[in-house]
Structure 1
Amino acid sequence: MQRIIVFVIFLLVTSTGLAQHKMRTLEELINKEEPGWLLVKGWIDSAKNKVEILPADSSKATDALFKTQVTTRSPMGAIVYMTGGLLVDGGWIRILGSGHPRLNRSLPEWNKGKTFQEYGEAPGYLLIADDVLGGFFAINGGTFSKEKMGKVYYLAPDNLEWEDLDVTYTDFLHFCFNGNLEEFYKGYRWKDWQKAVATLSGEKVFAFFPFLWSKDWKDINKVTKDPIPIAEQFKFNLETRKRLGLETNYHK
């Protein structure tokens, strides 16, 4: 797939463990000596792509960090604890943090009931970001491949496959900040998409008809685009995968 090639090229020119058992305390999770936010903020400040930091609410941030069970020394923990989330390229990509009125989903709350049932469980994968097309980025916790634990996969809206991007969470951030997003989404950005995305809630994505995974469309400018709740789109994607016999068709 072209998307995977774009990631490989980016990495050539330039692990997060998911398993949790006993819940660690906030004191164990907040690293004051080596805070990962200093690194992440530096990456954002020098990013080629536009990255907007949504402010964190302190009470929500501590709650989200505890439920995520990742230390603030890691980029993921830093983003969860220090931001309400990140909006990349005008909001085309949404990287989950602790939640914000414009992105009213924290990383742990969004995953609960989808990738795990109770906080502290080891999920088979963890949803970390999504885009306005209804594509979902997730860290593999064993569901997709036992050999590629910690790598990011993309549930692509144009084929409903979990595509192995062969990058870590940190690599994924670097790609979002500096990668060629125009090439990654080539053929799926319509005229004046920036205006439509600017008014789209972080709780919604665009539903396309004909479906992007169907063979009934040729031009992204000519398909209908209607905002729908992102939870509805995610559920629809998984149900459609089952109907198409794709549920166990992963890239090993």
Structure 2
Amino acid sequence: MRETDELARVDDPAWPELQELITAGAVPVRVLPADPEEGRRCLLQMQVTARSTLGALALNCGGLVLDDGWVRVYGGGSAAAGGLPSLGRVNRFPEEFDPAWHPASGLVVGHDVLGGVFALNGHDPAGAGRPGDPGQMTYFAPDTLEWEALDMGHSTWVWWLLSGRLETFYDGLRWPGWREEAAEPDLAQGITVYPFLWSKEAHDDLAATSRRPVAMSEVLGVAADFARQMGPADPGFLGEV
């Protein structure tokens, strides 16, 4: 086990380079203010250093909000009103450091406004019903109710998000005026779509669907319930928000 100072005080932290990429402006990004105490708690439980992008986000910011709220990337949590919960809150870290504790199915590191979930695979992704290798990113797609392997690690995923490729990734899931609607909910909310995103009606004409902001927990809960009832499978833990 490494202590928090050893994890935080490194010669080559990832944060300065990450800041440069954010500033370059390939995609609109809002950097939320950090909660230093919570960030250090997350760093200790994850046992990652500030050399990693995961550690840098936990230690230096409350999270990232991309594309006017469409994607939320978790960091150390923001104590300010209307901020994001920390990686520790989203993944139910123990309140006190526990070296024996690990996320059962992997680490939830981001959500999108439609209830898509970005997660870092744990040591046994197959046991959690997820594709891909340990340490690789996966995505729970709200339009198919299935996990998809992204074939990249967490650091590459963050750089990929900031490179401006979200438009291609979300092809078919964005409607005219999506940016204005994504900016409307607060960060505890997502957008519910009816007919549901996995329905034929939504696939045929997404723009004709009805959409409104609701609690993100409700968006995730409905998707998980339908995945269990209709298939393909129980998606497992989707994060606590």
User: TM-score band, normalised by the shorter chain?
Assistant: 0.7 to 0.9
Which runs of 5 or more residues in structure 1 are unaligned? 1-21
The answer to whether the Cα contact below 8 Å between 2:10 and 2:49 also exists between their aligned partners in 1 is no
Q: Provide structure 2 residue ranges, at least 5 long, that are not aligned to the other structure.
A: 236-241
Q: 1:231 aligns with which of 204, 217, 221?
A: 217
Query: 2: CA distance between counterparts of 1:146 and 1:195?
Result: 33
User: Which of these residues, 193, 201, 214, is aligned with residue 178 of structure 2?
Assistant: 193
State the alpha-carbon separation in 2 of the partners of residues 232 and 105 from structure 1: 16
Higher RCO (C-alpha under 8 Å, 6+ residues apart)? 1
Q: CA deviation at 1:231?
A: 2.1
1:7 matched to which residue of 2?
none
Tell me the equivalent position of 1:71.
49
- Per the TM alignment, residue 232 of structure 1 is displaced from its structure 2 partner at its CA by 2.5
Q: 100-109 vs 126-135, which deviates more?
A: 100-109
Partner of residue 9, structure 1: none
1:119/1:133 CA distance change after superposition, 3 Å: farther
Q: How many residues align?
A: 224
d(CA) in 1 for partners of 2:49, 2:98: 15
* Aligned counterparts, 1:161-200, within 5 A: 161-200=146-185
- Corresponding residue for 1:143? 125
Say yes or no: does 1:211 pair with 2:196.
Answer: yes
Q: Aligned letter for 1:195?
A: E
Is the 8 Å Cα contact of residues 127 and 138 (structure 1) preserved in structure 2? yes
Percent same amino acid among aligned pairs?
33
Secondary structure of the structure 1 residue equivalent to 2:32: strand
| C-alpha deviation, 1:52, in angstroms | 1.6
Deviation larger for 98-107 or 209-218? 98-107
**TM-score normalised to structure 1 length:** 0.80
> TM-score w.r.t. structure 2 length?
0.84
2:85 maps to: 105
Amino acid at match of 1:131: D
Superposition misfits of 4+ residues, deviation over 4 angstroms:
none
2:238 is aligned to: none
Q: Distance in 2 between matches of 1:90 and 1:247?
A: 32
> Is the CA contact (8 Å cut-off) linking 1:159 and 1:213 kept in structure 2?
yes
In structure 2, what is the equivalent of residue 5 of structure 1? none
Aligned-partner Cα distance in 1 for 2:221–2:67: 25
**2:114 and 2:219 in contact (8 A); partners too:** no
SS, match of residue 119 in structure 2: strand
Q: Is structure 2 residue 14 aligned with structure 1 residue 32?
A: no
